[in-house]
Structure 1
Amino acid sequence: MDLFVKKCDEFVLKFVNDSEEILPAKLTHDESWKEPDEVLNQVTTGILNLL
């Protein structure tokens, strides 16, 4: 899990503007992962590579 969390953190640090508002609570994740870490890492990498 740490690998894709790190990738997400790096992505956010690159693209977040300090003036943006914090995401509403309904858009945040409750961190209850149902998929294995390998699957989450592959999906996260695929999504970030598209952006």
Structure 2
Amino acid sequence: MTSDPETYCSCCGRTLPRTKLHDIGSTGVYICRRCARWVAFTWRGDRPH
């Protein structure tokens, strides 16, 4: 049985199994589910800040 390689979240730095992280736009940049949820709730789109 092969183990899932561990990768780090580019947002918070936590090291997690690859299956618990999401690749952002096939760029090799990964974020965890916790950070993805934070981004989704705080995303303002194209609105000015």
Give TM-score scaled by structure 2 length. 0.29
Higher relative contact order (CA 8 A, sep 6+): 1
Q: Greater Rg, structure 1 or structure 2?
A: 2
Structure number having the greater helix percentage? 1
